[in-house]
A and B are shown apart, each in its own frame.
Chain A
């Protein structure tokens, strides 16, 4: 009989990597700015020690890429915007001469990004950084206790619609006599959002842990993880994690002497914004045309292959894991881009402490030089600079895509391009959106005297579109017209 704790047993088999090493931040982001070249150089210089130079994913700080981090236990120093001098400094630091104070490497020290860009993808590495400890705690709780915890904390979905997670899980659980399915929405097709890709590339075990917690709470027969077809690196890293966790007896439950009886499938999507809409994913997995379904019935009653189905976003399930940390932590990932020096992925607390100004300043820009933010992309709205002192509210953040617009940005041009995007992406299944999105782009060509028509059209689209692509297409338009009307008048 092996008296060791299950995770301790795993850690003896999958050992932690050396404490002192150099992390090369690759991933889609690092590769896009040629970080490997520096990685190769560092390996050549360190010759006999090149095994201490490991490839990891981006840590979310895209602005710093190409970058590499010297990690020595809890000491971390990231070398940003690497060049040949930077490589020399990094080597010096690795040999003990680090100069100024240690600079922290990741987007968040705790929370769901805590391992992102700091693990080499091996099971040993993530286990040594706390992977599967939340699951281990959850397994001591009853399903009801798990769901109660989520509802006490008020966790909402991170895919954009902010539906309470506990409620969705409870709906599915009412079908106690039926086989149930979990679909993980990893389509991430909303322009301006890049968080789920980062999660999957950088810490896919976090998602798998969330999936297993959901399974403990609801009880599924199968899981389908629907990954955006173009997110190749994300899919590869997820596949590896699934295979490693499978081999280690984590997915089967064997490691805890249990039998989870769960199959996890990975499916890849084939394009389009609407493919992220949950019922489109169901059709897509069933091999049908990518169009939304009429609701009701809701997926929690009749979903994939007619079975009760929970659909959750990647970040949602990752967030579930941190609620079982001590103390529990609620955060939101922000994909920050546009005119801002430190663009990248941020994990911000949602305790009502962060303002838009604070976020902008934190990313290296004087908020007074900023005219507006575009929050939520083609389904979102503009935040006028006069509102910058408001705190970030979950309900306003959508999926967390934020584009910073300076005083030169042309709001009319951006509004028109968002409307044109919605028109292109309309799947054509319902008339209000198919015809409406076409008509809206035409009216936007000349807003003078057409404002009433625009408002009426948006009202129809909002109220009668089959899905929220059409339903929200008018949002950026109205918010631009309401707050930046003068920019349209001058045209």
Chain B
């Protein structure tokens, strides 16, 4: 099996390390540190967890226990680009289920707090789109 490996020489990883290195060595910097890696890499490879643990002088297990506790922190590399369709109540009422079925390979997500512009979809850059029609959506997904 060919595993998708993490490129520890990437510019993003280097930048994140520099930013984390500047944080005070205090326990309350744990979440901010993990968030820096999450933002730069979109997930938390082992090397990032180790870096945070070293910098804040915390046991690895402790850092893992926090990293697994927050839903926006990913310990797994995200699947290559997928669109997300909001299935919150307002979007559901506005026909989000049609957006789910009109294209392949989309994921459902909870409310994106743009309910007044339902139905809402999200692209890989976390850009939100409102009042999406099946025609628009099929076109964007094809691109």
Contacts and interface: CB of A to CB of B under 8 A. Distances in A.
Interface of A: 28-29, 31-33, 62-63, 65, 188, 191-194, 197, 229-232, 267-272, 275, 284-291, 305, 335-339, 343-345, 374, 377, 401, 403, 405, 409, 413-414, 417-418, 421, 424
A416 to B, nearest CB: 11
B118 A337 contact: yes
Contact of B70 (A272, A335, A343, A344): A272
Contact of B72 (A270, A337, A338): A270
5 contacts: A31-B128, A230-B113, A270-B70, A287-B31, A343-B117
Contacts of A401: 115
Contacts of A232: 126
Interface string B64-98: 01100111110000000000000111101100000
Contacts of B129: 32-33
B116 A403 contact: no
B128 A270 contact: no
B117 A65 contact: yes
Contacts of B72: 229-230, 269-272
Could you say which of A62, A269, A291 has the most chain B C-beta atoms within 10 Å of its C-beta?
Answer: A62
Contact of A338 (B35, B70, B71, B90): B90
B35 A270 contact: yes
A289 B65 contact: yes
Contacts of A417: 87, 89, 92
B115 A192 contact: yes
Nearest to B131: A33
Given A270-B31, A271-B71, A290-B69, 10 more contacts: A31-B128, A32-B117, A32-B129, A191-B111, A267-B31, A275-B70, A286-B28, A413-B92, A417-B89, A418-B89
B32 A267 contact: yes
Interface string B27-46: 11111101100100000000
Nearest to A61: B116
A344 B115 CA distance: 8
B114 A194 contact: yes
Given A193-B113, A335-B115, A337-B115, A286 B93 contact: no
Nearest to A34: B129
Contacts of A409: 93
A289 B69 contact: yes
Nearest to A409: B93
Interface string B113-134: 1111110100000111111000
A472 to B, nearest CB: 16
B15 interface: no
B107 interface: no
B11 interface: no
B104 interface: no
A192 B90 contact: yes
A335 B29 contact: no
Contacts of B114: 28-29, 32, 62, 194
A192 B31 contact: no
A185 B29 CA distance: 19
B117 A285 contact: no
Among B38, B73, B116, max chain A CB count under 10 A is at: B116
Nearest to A289: B69
Contacts of A32: 114, 117, 120, 127-130
A275 B70 CA distance: 9
Contacts of B65: 289
Nearest to B130: A32
Nearest to B88: A191
B113 A270 contact: no
Contacts of A28: 114, 128
Given A192-B88, A230-B72, A338-B93, A287 B29 contact: yes
